[in-house]
Amino acid sequence: MRMSNLYMPTLREVPSEAEIPSHQLLLRAGMIRRLASGVYSYLPLGYRVIRKIEQIVREEMDDSGSQELLMSAIQPRELWEATGRWEDFGPEMFKLNDRNTREFCLGPTHEESFTDMIKGELKSYKQLPTNLYQIQTKYRDEKRPRFGLMRCREFIMKDAYSFDMDEEGLERAYEKMWKAYERVFDRLHLDYRIVQGDTGAMGGKVSHEFMAMSDVGESLVAYCKDCSYAATDEKAKVVYEISEKEEEVLEMEKVHTPDVTTIEALTDFFGVDPSNFAKALVFMVEEQPVIAVIPGDRDLNETKFSNYLGVGSHDIEMADERIILDITGADKGFTGPVDLKEDVRIIVDSRISKMKNLVVGGNETDYHIKNVNYARDFEGEIVEDLLLVEENDTCPECASELKMDRGIEVGNIFQLGTKYSEGLNAHYLDENGKTNPFEMGSYGIGVSRSMAAIVEQFHDEDGLMWPLNTSPYGVIITVININNEDQMKLGEKLYKDLKSMGVEVLLDDRKERAGVKFNDRDLIGIPVRITVGKRAGEEIVEYSIRGEEGREELEEKEVISLIVDLYREEGMALKNR
Ligand code: ATP
Ligand code: MG
């Protein structure tokens, strides 16, 4: 491609809404443009990257035995009604009507449509296992679209669905996808961790997330510093140690605590450890108040809480002060589980039920109650673990210590079980002529989000630094002075020769100053650079690699041999080489 013809609208200034490097650099390099909040266009250079990521995903999916097809983004309401997700998906779903007021959604994911498609077609156990995938545009009306391609309302996903006879079959399918995902993310050169994920609203028991590690990632990962345990903060099991010391159960006592509302202030006031307090948090869950009671020194894990309640996270919100006053008779900060004004559902972390002589809010403004004990003084529904993991928590597997890191969720695999096949009545006949629902798995890769993740891991202050196999072009030839005949001639020759080898190459033949060309070359991050300048008459060019120190003055055949080596190392085919 000649850069004099390339549509590459670079920007000097970064729009202020762009907060993270991938968002800033992809905009600056003219690779993406925003059309509306969370809605982006991929411009020529950016779209080439997308297609390369798609191709890597496609090759590994095909290699794993999955078959590609393409479904519509438009899905009828009835399918989603059948699995209960028309409601459950909540406000993230884009809904629309046709001219006859029939209702549809723009697919946020495709479990329902794939299940419906194979229903009645995959009939016999002899046709199993089957695994199908597509690379397609998804729609989610995210609460906070942000960070460019990271969290969009329209994005590109590879989604695959497996259909098996039984759980063992599903486990094998899951393992295959796991391996395919490892190959995909290895080939994308991402530094990633595979971590246990929450299955939440998707259904099923087992899920793993592939996290590209990055300080700007929106996901938090807890991992053990000594063993292989790793989980998202939503999923990570919290080991919370309660002091086992023998303690006498004391009488409850109401204590005047004016203005003492924070845990720090309470610790000072009562002269005890924060773990002696119980926090009571009031939520509105589908319009009903529900109180969560957890140790005072910890935070509530809202995913565990909503999973226990069997509702989506969008169905839960903190109660406002008026509701708190109605329920407790007190201002915010003095809520406790004892003597509530109204009969409210109380959900208790199991550790609270074992702790003695707790300090809790008094349900009267400026009062707390001390020596509160579960069962004697209040009761609720006990849930084993409602807590959010913290750095240095005990590893649930090996009792060593957990560390925390940030990641970008680029892939997610689920063992779904029979939620969708049962909901949609999708069955097969087994060897004995008996009908059974399919055991299903679903497997997603964020293609457009992976592009942002690559940028987060491969950039510097000057711009992008694409790995060779996802770079929009492999090589850029910069002709310093296009009015110099020797330079233009040599540039053109290299351009032609590289193209004939199947190298994707850019020729910077623009009427621009050398400085502008060098800056753009850094910004768009093409890995292999050939500069044609003052030694063009001797057929000598300068060869360098983006992000690496040093440059060499070489003849064409030496340059070509280096390029051939690079492509070979990356496992990329060239013509006749
Ligand atoms: P998140 O927790 O980040 O909202 P999710 O768990 O809802 O993502 P999945 O349903 O697992 O997402 O979708 C599969 C993959 O699609 C994700 O692993 C992610 O890479 C990508 N993805 C999901 N939501 C978005 C989005 N809003 N923008 C870009 N990519 C997304
Ligand atoms: Mg996910």
What integer pLDDT is reported at residue 397 of this predicted model?
97
pLDDT of residue 264 exceeding 90, the answer is no
The stretch 172-189 carries a mean pLDDT of: 98
Look at the alpha carbons of 25, 30, 31, 33 in this order and tell me if their dihedral is positive or negative. Answer: positive
Strand order in the sheet with 103-106: 74-76, 103-106, 94-97
Q: Taking the model in full, what pTM does it have? A: 0.96
Phi/psi region, residue 147 (left: phi>0; alpha: psi -120 to 50; beta: rest), is left
Burial annotation 40-78 (CB, 10 A radius, 16+ → b, else e): bebbebbebbbbbbbebbbebbeebebeeeebebebbee
For the record, the structure tokens of 411 come out as 């892939």
Tokens of residue 166, six digits: 């039984």
Q: Provide the 10 A C-beta neighbour count for residue 219.
A: 19
Q: What percent of the chain has pLDDT over 90?
A: 92
Average pLDDT, the chain: 96
- One-letter identity of residue 335: T
Peptide bond just before 467 cis, omega within 30 deg: no
Ligand nearest to the CA of 159: 1
Give, for 317, the enclosing helix (H) or strand (E): strand 316-318
Q: What is the C-alpha end-to-end distance of the chain, expressed in Å?
A: 22
Task: Assess whether pLDDT exceeds 90 at residue 210.
Answer: yes
How sure is the predictor about 260, in pLDDT bands with cuts at 50, 70 and 90?
A: confident
The whole-number average pLDDT for the span 4-9 is 97
For 75-109, the DSSP string reads EEHHHHHHHTHHHHTGGGSEEEE-TT--EEEE-S-
The reported pLDDT for the residue numbered 246 is 77
Residue (of 46, 232, 157) closest to 410 by Cα position: 157
Q: What is the DSSP letter of 19?
A: -
Nearest CA to ligand 1 atom 19: 446
> According to the model, what pLDDT value does residue 201 have?
79
Ligand 2 centroid – CA 350 distance (Å): 28
Distance CA 304, CA 393 (A): 17
pLDDT at 170 over 70: yes
Residues 6+ apart with CB under 8 A from 285: 309, 311, 315, 316
Ligand 2 (single-atom ion) residues, CB below 5 Å: 412
Task: Tell me which residue has its CA closest to atom 8 in ligand 1.
Answer: 409
List of residues 6+ apart from 93 with CB closer than 8 A = 86, 105, 106, 108, 140, 141
**Radius of gyration of the chain, Cα coordinates, nearest whole angstrom:** 29
For 336-387, the DSSP string reads: -SSS-SS--EEEEEHHHHH--SEEEE-SSTTEEEEEE-BTTTB--EEES--B
Q: Residue 167 in contact with residue 204, Cβ under 8 Å?
A: no
Read off the DSSP letter of residue 2. B
All residues at 6 or more sequence positions from 528 whose CB lies less than 8 Å from its CB, including other chains: 468, 474, 475, 476, 543, 545, 546, 563, 566
What count of Cα atoms within 13 Å lies in the side-chain half-sphere of residue 504?
A: 15
Q: How far is the CA of 71 from the centre of ligand 2 (A)?
A: 20
Per the listing, tokens 């008459």 go with 537
Distance (Å) from CA 451 to ligand 1 centroid: 13
**For the residues 193-212, what does the mean pLDDT come to?**
93
How far apart CA 453 and CA 451 sit, in angstroms, is 5
pLDDT tens across 512-537, in order?
Answer: 999 999 999 999 999 999 999 999 99
Taking the C-alpha atoms of residue 195 and residue 373, their distance in angstroms, rounded to an integer, is 37
Of 182-191, 200-209, 275-284, 475-484, give the lowest mean pLDDT range: 200-209
Cα–Cα nearest to 472, from 527, 529, 544, 519 = 527
The pLDDT of residue 244 is 65
Rounded-to-integer distance, Cα 87 and Cα 303, Å: 18
Residue 362 above 70 pLDDT?
Answer: yes
Residue nearest to atom 25 of ligand 1 (CA): 151
State yes or no: pLDDT of 274 exceeds 90: no
- Residue-level pLDDT at 22: 98
Whether the pLDDT of residue 60 is over 70: the answer is yes
Q: What mean pLDDT do residues 405-424 have?
A: 97
Average pLDDT over residues 393-403: 97
Query: In the prediction, which pLDDT does 473 show?
Result: 98
> 97-106, 115-124, 252-261: lowest mean pLDDT where?
252-261
Rounded to the nearest 10°, the torsion over CA 325, 376, 307, 207 is 140
For residue 158, what pLDDT band results from cuts at 50, 70 and 90? Answer: very high
* CB count in 10 Å sphere of residue 461: 6
Per-residue pLDDT at 566: 97
Residue nearest to atom 14 of ligand 1 (CA): 444
How confident is the model over 11-32, as a mean pLDDT? 95
Output the pLDDT for position 240: 94
Mutation test residue for ligand 1: of 85, 157, 221, 314, the one with most atoms within 8 Å of CB: 157
Distances (CA, A) of 2 to 7, 38, 527: 10, 31, 17
Residue 512 CB burial class (10 angstroms; 0-12, 13-18, ≥19): middle
| Between 261 and 477, residue with greater pLDDT | 477
> What are the backbone angles phi and psi of residue 8, rounded to the nearest 5°?
-140, 75
**What does the pLDDT read at residue 49?**
98
Q: Give the residue whose CA is nearest to atom 18 of ligand 1.
A: 411
Residue of the CA atom closest to atom 16 of ligand 1: 446
Q: How far away, in angstroms, is 157 Cα from ligand 1 center?
A: 8
Q: Which residues line ligand 1 (CB under 6 A)?
A: 109, 140, 142, 151-152, 155, 157, 409-412, 444, 446, 448-449
